[in-house]
Amino acid sequence: ILNVEQSPQSLHVQEGDSTNFTCSFPSSNFYALHWYRWETAKSPEALFVMTLNGDEKKKGRISATLNTKEGYSYLYIKGSQPEDSATYLCAFYSGNTPLVFGKGTRLSVIA
């Protein structure tokens, strides 16, 4: 079973703080790396699908970077807001098996 690790497991930040978390994945057989946001009582929704080494993606205050050679991706949130509170999941895709998810980072933004 492929191993996808996320850290930290949980995070509490003050409104306005910027934060980041990490996803580590196998550096071999890489096809894509996904990030999802899962808010309480809602469905997980896709944030980014990243395929190229060095790729950077941005959506509003959230951005992500990808290093496929060393097997990690960072998710950044600038100026956290209470509505950013959610669990952030990353998932590794090798191209021939379903996504393998990390256990997620639970972010709580305190107003």
Chain contacts with another protein (rule: CB under 8 A): 1, 31-32, 34, 36, 41-46, 49, 51, 89, 91, 93, 95, 98-104
CB of 77 to another protein, least distance (A): 19
For residue 68, which of 79, 52, 86, 57 has the smallest C-alpha distance? Answer: 52
CB of 58 to another protein, least distance (A): 17
Of the pair 20, 87, the CB lying nearest another protein is at 87
Of the pair 41, 111, the CB lying nearest another protein is at 41
CB of 74 to another protein, least distance (A): 18
Alpha carbons 111 and 87: distance in angstroms, whole number: 18
